[in-house]
């Protein structure tokens, strides 16, 4: 995990009204009057794979809306064990729990090249107080985040090793092309599924031999799904 100072990722100030994925993110329901309440800058930030947006327990710098790429949320236990609790996709809100506690309860790490907008907490609180639309949207996003994390863990942490790996592969299929699934390191996959690295590697190799998958890159991170019915 490679930490990065937030300032080094800065790419400019966002134009929320002209955002290409505005319908997917937190500000989708705001009108012109609501946007006039935004005084603090909302920054465009970019992170390369392995870079950290924020760490567990860190004081909040605001929340993030994910525009492109994938982000993993990692929680470290009191005993020092790490567990990936969720993978976020474009449109998700990252760090939303910090609006209530003032601290992040996970570490957010870029899995791929990532583009986010960082929204200062004071902007969200101000808009929430003055815009019922945003307050409603905020509560819905919060509920979605909790449900997504619960669904993610429950679907890939039960069943046989083959079933767990298969469910993870299905969950990681590209949203714009279900023929392909973009994976990550075997260590990460083991952390998500509760399996050993060797077990994950063995199951993926077996799925390739059985004709369910075909490796589509040299690194073994991208696979073509040949037969989804064999993933289960």
Q: What is the pLDDT of residues 90-133, one digit of tens each?
A: 888 898 888 888 899 999 999 889 999 888 887 777 766 776 66
The Cα–Cα gap between 182 and 72 comes to: 13
60 with 99: CB under 8 angstroms? yes
Say which CATH number the domain at 196 has. Answer: 1.10.10.10
The Cα–Cα gap between 219 and 173 comes to: 17
Residues 68 and 130 in one domain: yes
Residues 52 and 151 in one domain: yes
- Closest to 208 (Cα-Cα) out of 172, 156, 166, 171: 166
Question: 186-220: b or e for each residue (b if 16 or more CB lie within 10 Å)?
Answer: bebbbbbbebeeebbbebbeebeeeebbeebeeee
Domain that holds residue 106: 2-156
- Last residue of one domain, picked from the residues 156, 175, 202: 156
Residues 51 and 166 in one domain: no
Residues 13 and 99 in one domain: yes
Say which CATH number the domain at 150 has. Answer: 2.60.120.10
pLDDT greater than 90 at residue 208: yes
- Last residue of one domain, picked from the residues 120, 141, 156: 156
Residues 32 and 92 in one domain: yes
The more confidently predicted of residues 26 and 146 is 146
Q: How confident is the model over 76-83, as a mean pLDDT? A: 84
Residues 79 and 187 in one domain: no
- H/E stretch holding 84: strand 82-88
Residues 140 and 182 in one domain: no
- Last residue of one domain, picked from the residues 156, 173, 205: 156
User: How many domains, in total, are found in the chain?
Assistant: 2
The more confidently predicted of residues 131 and 221 is 221
The Cα–Cα gap between 190 and 25 comes to: 30
* Percentage of residues in the chain having pLDDT higher than 90: 28
- Closest to 165 (Cα-Cα) out of 140, 188, 146: 188
pLDDT greater than 50 at residue 4: no
- H/E stretch holding 2: strand 2-3
pLDDT greater than 60 at residue 188: yes
């Amino acid at each position: 995990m490679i930490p990065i100072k937030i300032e080094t990722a800065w790419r400019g100030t966002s134009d929320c009204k002209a955002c290409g994925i505005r319908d997917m993110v937190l500000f989708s329901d705001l009108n012109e009057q609501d946007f006039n309440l935004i005084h603090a800058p909302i920054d465009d930030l970019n992170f390369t794979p392995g870079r950290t947006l924020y760490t567990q327990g860190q004081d909040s710098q605001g929340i993030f809306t994910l525009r492109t790429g994938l982000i993993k949320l990692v929680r470290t236990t009191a005993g020092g064990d790490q567990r990936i609790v969720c993978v976020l996709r474009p449109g998700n809100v990252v760090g939303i729990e910090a609006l209530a506690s003032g601290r992040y309860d996970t570490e957010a790490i870029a899995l791929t090249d990532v583009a986010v907008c960082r929204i200062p907490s004071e902007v969200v609180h101000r808009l929430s107080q003055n815009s019922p639309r945003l307050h409603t949207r905020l509560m819905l996003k919060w509920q979605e985040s909790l449900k997504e994390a619960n669904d993610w863990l429950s679907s890939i942490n039960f069943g046989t090793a083959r079933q767990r790996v298969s469910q993870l592969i299905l969950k990681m299929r590209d949203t714009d092309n279900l023929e392909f699934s973009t994976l990550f390191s075997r260590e990460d996959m083991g952390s998500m599924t509760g399996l050993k690295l060797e077990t994950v590697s063995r199951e993926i190799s077996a799925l390739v031999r059985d004709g369910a998958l075909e490796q589509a890159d040299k690194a073994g991170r991208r696979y073509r799904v040949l037969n989804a019915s064999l993933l289960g």
